[in-house]
Amino acid sequence: MAQDLALAQSHAFALARTLMVPVTLFRSGGEFGVLPSNELDDADVDVIHEIDPFDFGPAH
């Protein structure tokens, strides 16, 4: 969990590109977290953004 949104977004994008699966950036309490979207399972969290690695072009 991270308290900085920019750091959490960076980790979310890196995780999505590494695992090549959609990930969800969420807030729980006062912190941000990232999980693969299929593992979130109706948790009591505020979803901020879902990142799909196939929506972005190549890195270079």
Four-residue CA torsion sign, 35, 39, 44, 47: positive
More confident residue, 45 or 42: 45
Tokens representing residue 36 in the block: 């693969």
Judge whether 60 lies within some domain: no
Note the pLDDT of residue 56. 65
Note the pLDDT of residue 9. 92
Judge whether 9 lies within some domain: yes
Judge whether 22 lies within some domain: yes
Which domain range does residue 33 map to? 5-37+45-53
| Total domains, the chain | 1
Tokens representing residue 2 in the block: 């991270």
Note the pLDDT of residue 51. 94
Tokens representing residue 32 in the block: 């941000």
Judge whether 59 lies within some domain: no
Note the pLDDT of residue 14. 93
Summary mean pLDDT of the chain: 87
Judge whether 25 lies within some domain: yes
